[in-house]
Amino acid sequence: MTGSSGCTSLRGKRVKETCEYAEKVIDDVNKWMVIIQGSGNRLLENGREVTVNTIMKVVERARKKNVRVAVTSLLKRPACNEDYERLCKEVNRDLHEKKLVMKAESVRNREVGLSFLDMDDLIQAGCFLRDGVHLSQEEETKLSQRFIHWIRATHLLMEGRMN
């Protein structure tokens, strides 16, 4: 792999702030992959449309710069109410549907694709800290392992295209 790598945690940030940071990372010519681990902070305030459109704007920017991007599902939070859970599911569904459309376009046009990393199967209600919002260290490790798996698979795919 060429370029630099790094991990930045933007705990407590809204989706807009997370995506603004991701745009700066994408503009760094040494980056060829980015993972956006969706922010559910202020989800009810931002709403479904703003959240999805903000994330998809970053995805489009990445595609234009030939940067592979993975978007994770928003994580459920036991401490949040039913409205949050419903909106979280709707946003995840919309992101997944948009990913499918983009994936079809990228295959047709032989462009860099997009991945949607669904984290729901990893996360159980008892995996959060006492606040019911943040994951325990053990669960963060599970998420990290899923990210590493995607990075390795993407790297192998990209190597295959380059050879």
The closest alpha carbon to 38, from 117, 100, 101, belongs to 117
Q: CA end-to-end span of the chain, whole Å?
A: 13
Q: Does residue 114 have a pLDDT over 80?
A: no
pLDDT in tens, 71-86: 888 877 777 788 988 9
Give pTM, 2 decimals.
0.73
